[in-house]
Structure formats: C-alpha cells, structure tokens
Homo-oligomer: A and B are copies of this chain.
Amino acid sequence: MIKAGVVGATGYTGVELVRILSRHPEVQLAGLTSQTYSEQSLDSVFPSTAGFSEAVLETQDIRSLADRCDVIFTALPHGISMDVVQEVVAAGKKVIDLGADYRFDDIKIYEEWYKVTHKTPELAAASVYGLPEINRKLILEADVIGNPGCYPTSIILGLAPLLKNGMVKTDTLIADSKSGVSGGGRGLNLAFHYAECNENFKAYNIGRHRHTPEIEQELGKLAGECVTISFTPHLVPMTRGILSTIYASLVNPCSTEEILDQYRDFYSEEFFVRVHPEGQYPQTKWVYGSNFCDIGLTVDNRTGRVVVVSAIDNLVKGASGQAVQNMNLIFGLDEKTGLDFAPVFP
C-alpha cells in the first residue's frame, strides 16, 4: 500500500483527492492537513465523506507527515507550495504539486506571470510537467511533479496531435475556454457568490490568464518551435467541467476525417482520451466526475480552419484525478488504478 498525504485537504481539489484516494485499492490515506479546519474531523467539514474517512485534519507539520508518507499531494495556492515541496523532497519522498510552482521549465517565465520569486530553482528545473499522455516517460522517473492546470490540460490535449504533426500555423492558435465555478476554489469571493454567477456568463482575464505560459510551453515543445496563443477563460453557471473551443488555421487543406485519424492514432493507447466520431462534439456532462478528456473536431473549409473541442472535469482530469494518474505512474501501478469510474450522467 502506498501511504499518501494531502496538504491542503479542505479545498475542492483537496477533498476530490480524498474522494479518489479513499477508494483507491493501493493507497492508504496517511494524513490530511488544513490550515482552516485543523483538529476537526474531515466529515464534519465535508459530510459527504462520512463513512469513507475517519481522518482528523492536522495542522501542517510537513516533517511529521513526510515520515508517515510515500507521496504527498500539495493542494495549495501558488507561491506557498515551495517550502513544503522542498521539505518533502529533503525527506526523500515524492511530491505531486497541484499548484503552478513546478510547471515551468524556465522559472523566469513563472516569475514574470506569477509575480513571485521562486525559492527552489533546482527543484523547479528537476520537476516534470505531469501530463501523462504527453510526458509519460519523464513522469516515471520524477520526484516532483508539477500537476498541470485545468485549462492547459484541456487545451494541450486538444491541440497536441495537430502541433506534433505540423498540421496548423502556429501563429493562428486561439483557445476559447469555459469553466465551471468550482475552478475558482472554495475561498470566498464576490465573483463566485451564487447570485452573481447563476444565470450569468462572463469572460475574464482576457489575454493575461496565468495558465497561458504553461500552455505555450508544452505546445512549443510539441511543435518544436515557439508558440503563442490567444487564451480567453470564461465562467459557466455550473459547478464542474471545462470545455475548450480551439481554433487554428490549417497549413494544407484536409478533411475532418483525416485529422480525426491522426487523433485516433496519437491517442490510440490512451484510456483517458476519447476521440469522438465526426459530427459529434464532447459535452462537459459526458465526463462529469471522471478522469476522461473527450475530444471532437471539425474542419471548416470555408475559412481554412480546424476547430477542436475538448472537455474535461476540471477537478478530476483537470486536477486531482490527473494527480492520482501521475502517482500511479510513479509507483509502477496501472495508470487507471482507482480512476476507472464512469462519468455520472445525467
């Protein structure tokens, strides 16, 4: 049994980790920390977990936690993870960070977009961007995983075959993404107040969302050249789900079916990526509560563009599910272990 700890267990990605790990056949939850709710039982904070966990939330004591664990998941705001990660690594344990601190090859880019000085540049350099479908080999040997952002997961998986195969002009990329409100976390904010979100739809942070540079980093590696992208996030009046609609101009005319073939080929070994047949576009409900990334696309001959639609559950494939997928890889388990639950529909 793998002994796992969660630092920051009472945010939405934290409690989603607990949901998944508590049913994982090869994992034992060895410790959960919370700043806000320490010394309380988990099920008093999240009554949904009653019957699944008798855990009491601990004050954060990383050394003690690392002693009891083989792997620690850090579900903390960016900038806060660095101290924790360093301490876990020093204790010789693996760490999967759900924040942004370990996602970048070049910490200057991190520092520029996040307005934070990185405290552990060596660890950042050694960390791996934990998108298994793209970086599986590197993940297998990593000590520190920078678990991808939710939007980037949907966009990188949505574009990877096109960029890898040189099918599109890299200066024409536009990702118009829409997220459920749980992506904003559990912290109070007027932007996530029910009466302000419900029966409402809006864009935010146009052209300056912090997920932009990690998207460009991974797309650039796939393309073998620098890539810029216009990225616009939106807030949808729903709890879970991200749908990205991605536009790119084709280098050469081709048919929808030809590109779908490339996608089916690229993802032929991937359980968690489902490529839909021509004429069918994914809906967020089709992946609700699951670790799937669903993809559909069409070639628009009138405009010379391909339009790709990808859908994930932002808290599963976009966060905690992908983190467990990374853990499975690191510990030599079947990647699907504990993650092969079906989407909840309707």
Q: Which residues of A contact B (CB under 8 A)?
A: 12, 15, 19, 22-23, 46-52, 174, 176, 178, 180-182, 184, 186, 188-190, 192-204, 206-207, 228-230, 232, 234, 236-241, 243, 245, 247, 271, 274, 276, 280-290, 292, 294, 298, 300, 302-303, 305, 307, 309, 311, 340-346
Q: Find out whether the CB atom of A237 lies under 8 angstroms from the CB atom of B234.
A: no
Q: Find out whether the CB atom of B307 lies under 8 angstroms from the CB atom of A199.
A: no
Q: Find out whether the CB atom of A193 lies under 8 angstroms from the CB atom of B192.
A: yes
Q: Report B-chain residues with C-beta under 8 Å of the C-beta of A46.
A: 345
- In the assembled complex, the Cα of A288 lies from the Cα of B197 at a distance in Å of 13
Q: Report B-chain residues with C-beta under 8 Å of the C-beta of A285.
A: 48, 196, 199-200, 202
Minimum Cβ distance to chain B for residue A200 (Å)? 4
Q: With A193-B193, A195-B192, A198-B237 in contact, is A247–B204 under 8 Å at CB?
A: no
Q: Report B-chain residues with C-beta under 8 Å of the C-beta of A200.
A: 238, 241, 283-285
User: Which of B237, B271, B307 contacts A237, CB < 8 Å?
Assistant: B237
- In the assembled complex, the Cα of A288 lies from the Cα of B48 at a distance in Å of 8
Q: Report B-chain residues with C-beta under 8 Å of the C-beta of A23.
A: 340-342
Q: Report B-chain residues with C-beta under 8 Å of the C-beta of A12.
A: 195, 346
Q: Find out whether the CB atom of B202 lies under 8 angstroms from the CB atom of A199.
A: no
Q: Report B-chain residues with C-beta under 8 Å of the C-beta of A298.
A: 206-207
Q: Find out whether the CB atom of B176 lies under 8 angstroms from the CB atom of A198.
A: no
Q: Find out whether the CB atom of B239 lies under 8 angstroms from the CB atom of A207.
A: no
Minimum Cβ distance to chain B for residue A216 (Å)? 10
